[in-house]
Amino acid sequence: MKFSQDKLNPKVSDATDISKPWDKDNQAWWDWYVSLADNRNVEDKLITVKPLPNAKIPSNDEIISELAETYPLTKEQIIFFKKNGFIKLKNVFSPGAVLKLRAELINLLKKEFNVDPDKGAHERFLSLEMTWLNNTLLRAFVLSPRLGQISADLLSVPAIRLYHDNVLAKQAGCGRTPWHFDDQHFPLDTNDVVTAWIPAQPTPVEMGPLSFAYPLEVHKLVNAVKFEKAGVGYDRGVSEVFAKNDVTINETPFELGEVSFHHNLNFHTASRNRTNRSRVVLANTYYKDGARVINSPTMISGDWQKFMPNVKPGDLAASPLNPICWPVDDE
């Protein structure tokens, strides 16, 4: 059953009313969303991280060939994901492929924001989306059969569509990402939704890797915490509930080539980036083919019509910008 807005906010006030659609762009959405994080007691001093590792950089054709190969999952891995709502998988991509991806993401961010995220840029959370439409390398990663196959296997569904890609850069010194789950972000009438979170560099704890609360059912503990459109009340409230109930948090580094997959009901957060390097990530969200758009998307769904043009509430979520990524059509 789809998690409902009424359950999140049994008593709606102006501060908690999120029923109006978002009327700005995706970067403005992220600027707003990270402002909801509680940044008390964060470490101010930045540390210097090691240089990026050396690796042979493959061609685009070699990357396409690599990503066309499947990544077999064990029964135990699928069971872990279904129980906990997340899993981290090593060696999903070769080191060279990830380093090439990072260089391309940095170039795209430079062009969009007129700043090098790794040099002199601080404390902002930058976002790009729909990069796969006009970029051969990003298209290979976003529409890769490997990610589609992993996503379909974790959800145990026969076919997977793309919702959208996100390039996310948490600059040096940028604060926390608030506690949240993605159920409200993606206005779909299914819980068969998973996001592949691909760090484009080795990501130590000090850089603010994605952290996951588990098992999956802990989302029920915070049903009564009201989401607020301004201030840090929701983030702080979730933290307090999790601490009171001794909820387990996975906050561990990511190796180069390691990728996490999280369910849309998994609660997750990310700490402040306390390093001198931007934490650059490609995050792709996939969902079960056959899903529909919910009847009343909210402001938390952001600029969803950009990702599903000409699709209306209640329609099948199957625009030309939501291609099937698994199974692969070999014709």
Separation of alpha carbons 78 and 29, rounded Å: 33
Predicted confidence band at 18 (pLDDT cuts at 50, 70, 90)? confident
Enumerate the β-bridge partners of residue 99.
Answer: none
Angle between helices 95-113 and 60-68 (to 10 degrees): 120
Give the model's pLDDT for residue 8. 45
Query: Mind listing the pLDDT tens digit for each residue in 166-219?
Result: 999 999 999 999 999 999 789 999 999 999 999 999 999 999 999 999 999 999
Q: Quote the pTM value.
A: 0.93
pLDDT of 323 over the 50 cut: yes
Q: Which residues of 287-298 are buried (b: 16+ CB within 10 A; e: fewer)?
A: bbbebbbbeebb
Q: What is the per-residue pLDDT across 38-53, written as a single tens digit (0 to 9) for each?
A: 998 777 789 999 999 9
Tell me what pLDDT residue 82 has: 98
Name which CATH class applies to 5-326. Answer: mainly beta
Query: CA 222 → CA 17, 76, 226, 240, 323, distances in Å?
Result: 17, 28, 9, 10, 34
- Domain borders along the chain are 5-326
Alpha-carbon distance of 16 to 34, in angstroms, equals 17
Q: Are 190 and 293 in contact (CB under 8 A)?
A: no
What is the percent of the chain where pLDDT is above 70?
94
- Indicate the average pLDDT of the chain: 92
